[in-house]
Structure 1
Amino acid sequence: MFLWVVFIPLIPVSMLVFYYQGYAKNNILETHDNLAKMAASAVTQHIDNITWRMSFTDGLEKIINNKNAVERKLEEVLASNPDFLMLAVLDSEGREKYKVGPKFITDNVGVIDLSSEGTLSEIRKQNRLNVSGFDVHLNLPIAEIIYPLQDGNFLFGIVSFYKLWSRISAQRIGNSGRIYLVHSSGEIFMSSPGEEQAVSPYYLNTAIVSGQPLQKNLKGSNGVNYIGAIEPSPILDAYIAVLQTKDEAFTSINSITAFLIFFILAIALLAYFAAYSFAGSIANPIGELIAGAKRVSKGNFDTPVLKDKEWGEFNSLINSFNTMMKDLKDYRDLQIKQQVSEMKEFVFKAVAHDLRAPVFGLQGYVELLQSGKISEEEAKNYIGIMKESLENLSSLLENILDVSKLEAGMLKPEKKTFDAAQMIEKCVNLLNPSAKEKGIYLTVHIESNKEAFGDEKLLERVITNLLSNAIKFTDKGSVTVTYKTDEKYSVFEVEDSGKGIAENELEQIFKKYHQTDNSVKGYGLGLAISREIINSHGGAIKAQKTKNNEHGALIEFKIPFN
């Protein structure tokens, strides 16, 4: 329980930590994207500067048909602009008219003829400098420029981006982060000869085609993953890429996250052990109270709960509990006294009620014997009657005491499993002689071999009482004892073929001193005792008509298996 209390709050905290980790990683990617945009902006400014230097073309148009003058002008421009490597004038169709520059460059370029390309008309419409054909030549980053002249001709040039790109590529992000100029095919410009690209052209091309500037996972050529950003540049088919190894880029974030998780877990563990220790100290007085409550439930009111020295706040509760326990003890003692008093009163009343007639009868016989006016034979007869009356009185007193004990809860059944069939046979064998004298046939039906659970002696008394009653109220015929079981109960039935029980008497016969037929001797306690015994077993007993609704009665009782 304490684990849940302590560690459940860690779930939202951990989620918050990982959320901010993702947020911080996005910020790092945004930083890479800003660097890519800054590099693209620097290239744009450089191209704008080249455009501004195209102002010399205004005077060039006036001498466009003078080859020597044009070439001289172009050489002056090359001399004043070291990053201009070669310049040429093309006619309106894109064919070379004049060309100046170092011989190794002009020879390498050859005759310029762009007439087959469809880009010139678009450049004419845009009427601005166009930069394309970025390449690396002799380890120099160069690009082709085409500028539309007012007279319909074009200025063509090869421009070096060495100074600009040296400045940009010198920027580093950590140890592995660099800025690259990438062709749309994924090839990186300015790579050293034989050097393998950090990220293969395939993955860079895929990233460019996706149109997503932020790249969270680029598979590196050396098996190392990269992150970064890719932005378009003003150079046709060229992109600025900022790439850095993923481990290095996120190392600080991952370290901070790991530290935070460790810190949170450390706090959680400290909180857990503190709470556990706190709970343990609280559990001591609570455990004492629980143990005290169990003692009280078992009837032990003499052992008080000891006060707790560490938690004085519990002492008032402990005092109240001990006071309650003392009050319960007093109440129990008072209740026991009251029960004893009631039992005495009941016994006295029962004795006074039930012993009056037989005692008076005995008193009469004694007086007759004392008078000496009776014969010896009559005296023997009277003594036999007195002996039988005394036996009946003894049985009556025993029954009265048993009923009182059962009602007061002083007679507890000693439950255990026993053979119900064997018990029934014992009871039948005991009463079979008296049944035969009346011409009654006793039968036993055992429908289940399952053992019953209860106090065998008390239940034997119930069966005996029921059989005695059945024999008593049956002149001739049969009495049947049946044993069966269901899922929860053992069921006993005693059915006779006697005169039966009236409908309004079915519930009354289990009351003390109730008799359905006053002509039959008895005190009406047998069924009352049987009911109390069955109730003490947690069972139930009832009387009903016979199953075929003919003469006779059926009394059924059932007791649970546990």
Structure 2
Amino acid sequence: MIRDEQMKKGRIEKLLIILILMFVLATLLILCHLNELITILVLTLITAIGVYGLILLKKQVSLLGKQQHEIKFLKNKIVAQRDEEAAMLSNASHEMRTPLTTIAGIAEGLQYGVISPDEQQHSYDLIKEEADRLTRLIKSTLSYERLRQQQLDNRPEQFSVVSVIRRQIEQLTKQAESVGDEIQDLTEQDVIVYADPDQVAQILTNILANAIQFTTNGIITVAVDEIAGQAHIVISDTGIGMTEDQLGKIWQRYYKADPSRTKRGESGLGMAIVKQLVSANHGEIKVSSKLGIGTTFEILLPSKIN
């Protein structure tokens, strides 16, 4: 395509050069046969046509340059998209390999009687556990892919974000208590947001679950207020925190800040999904953290229809 545009550009340039040469020859002939007044008029006309031709040439060159730039941009975008899809497939394959290997190994052990009858029930439990893990990985991957391709069914409405926050805290309280954490609800006023309620619930769940995962015997706080027509949600924890390098990678797919603390079945897509969901609801999110002190997420969501 780029070669075709270059050939087109070359043909236009040649055509204009030929026209200008013809005008010059015509001018010489006119100078030889017409009186002075007509000569001046013809010269003026020829000059105007020549200038107009040069202007057209400049515009065509500029247009072709712009088209080539757009083609190059689209080509690079396609290449980047292919690389991203290849990387995603590679990461997904890597994440799914472990549970599949475990299931295959246990199934083979059961098939050849290597596993004793006393251990068989535990083996069946492991197969179920790994199958559930695979299911969660696949669901997370598909959810992220739909978000990335903007295929998510987004249904925004106005609702109280405080009620959603309290519902998610209630759902995760037992999980927090199991590791000695306390979730403190610091919401004091009713704040309205204009977003998809289910997606906001998922954003809150993912961030709270992440805070619980990286906090032991600590405190997780959730607060909300209104700033310049936007709901400002703040979720903080007293967990292990992150380094600057970890902060820079937190939104990447399949990234796990501390693999040793990653629970079985975690895909590493939680924060990538959060980022996409916030963007899908026309919001903003930022994170700050200090190693050994804790992490804070700040979410801004519109409070009303724009």
**TM-score normalised by the chain length of structure 2:** 0.68
Task: Name the SS of the counterpart of 1:422 in structure 2.
Answer: helix
AA in 1 matched with 2:301? I
What is the CA–CA distance in structure 2 between the aligned matches of 1:351 and 1:510, rounded to whole Å? 16
| TM-superposed deviation, 1:356 | 1.4
> CA 1:459/1:414 → structure 2, altered by over 3 Å: closer, same or farther?
same
Q: Which residue of 2 aligns with 1:560?
A: 302
Q: Which residue of 2 aligns with 1:525?
A: 269
Q: Please say if residues 347 and 401 of structure 1, whose CA atoms lie closer than 8 Å, have aligned partners that are also in contact.
A: no
What is the CA–CA distance in structure 1 between the aligned matches of 2:138 and 2:196, rounded to whole Å? 22
Q: Which residue of 2 aligns with 1:378?
A: 119
Gaps of 5+ in 1: 1-337
Q: Please say if residues 186 and 223 of structure 2, whose CA atoms lie closer than 8 Å, have aligned partners that are also in contact.
A: yes
Q: Which residue of 1 aligns with 2:160?
A: 419
C-alpha RMSD of matched pairs (Å): 2.5
AA in 2 matched with 1:356? R
AA in 1 matched with 2:296? L
Q: Please say if residues 223 and 234 of structure 2, whose CA atoms lie closer than 8 Å, have aligned partners that are also in contact.
A: yes
CA deviation profile, 1:246-283 (whole Å, cap 9, x unmatched): xxxxxxxxxxxxxxxxxxxxxxxxxxxxxxxxxxxxxx
Alignment of 1:28-427 (within 5 A): 348-427=89-168
Task: Name the SS of the counterpart of 1:404 in structure 2.
Answer: helix
Task: Name the SS of the counterpart of 1:506 in structure 2.
Answer: helix
Q: Which residue of 2 aligns with 1:473?
A: 214
Task: Name the SS of the counterpart of 1:494 in structure 2.
Answer: strand
CA deviation profile, 1:423-465 (whole Å, cap 9, x unmatched): 0111111111111111111111114323111001011011000
AA in 2 matched with 1:557? I
Q: Which residue of 1 aligns with 2:279?
A: 535
CA deviation profile, 1:284-307 (whole Å, cap 9, x unmatched): xxxxxxxxxxxxxxxxxxxxxxxx
Choose which of 224, 240, 244 in structure 2 pairs with 1:483: 224
> CA 1:351/1:511 → structure 2, altered by over 3 Å: closer, same or farther?
closer
Q: Please say if residues 448 and 485 of structure 1, whose CA atoms lie closer than 8 Å, have aligned partners that are also in contact.
A: no
What is the CA–CA distance in structure 1 between the aligned matches of 2:257 and 2:219, rounded to whole Å? 20
> CA 1:348/1:510 → structure 2, altered by over 3 Å: closer, same or farther?
closer
Gaps of 5+ in 2: 1-77
Q: Which residue of 2 aligns with 1:429?
A: 170
| TM-superposed deviation, 1:545 | 2.9
The alignment status of 1:453 with 2:194, answered yes or no, reads yes
Q: Pick the structure with more strand per residue.
A: 1
Identity %: 25
> CA 1:351/1:510 → structure 2, altered by over 3 Å: closer, same or farther?
closer
What is the CA–CA distance in structure 1 between the aligned matches of 2:92 and 2:214, rounded to whole Å? 26
Q: Which residue of 2 aligns with 1:515?
A: 256
| TM-superposed deviation, 1:344 | 7.3
What is the CA–CA distance in structure 2 between the aligned matches of 1:436 and 1:479, rounded to whole Å? 11
Q: Please say if residues 161 and 193 of structure 2, whose CA atoms lie closer than 8 Å, have aligned partners that are also in contact.
A: yes
**TM-score normalised by the chain length of structure 1:** 0.38
Task: Name the SS of the counterpart of 2:166 in structure 1.
Answer: helix
What is the CA–CA distance in structure 1 between the aligned matches of 2:257 and 2:87, rounded to whole Å? 23
Task: Name the SS of the counterpart of 2:261 in structure 1.
Answer: coil
Q: Please say if residues 158 and 192 of structure 2, whose CA atoms lie closer than 8 Å, have aligned partners that are also in contact.
A: yes
AA in 1 matched with 2:221? T
What is the CA–CA distance in structure 1 between the aligned matches of 2:114 and 2:275, rounded to whole Å? 48
Q: Please say if residues 220 and 236 of structure 2, whose CA atoms lie closer than 8 Å, have aligned partners that are also in contact.
A: yes
Q: Pick the structure with more helix per residue.
A: 2
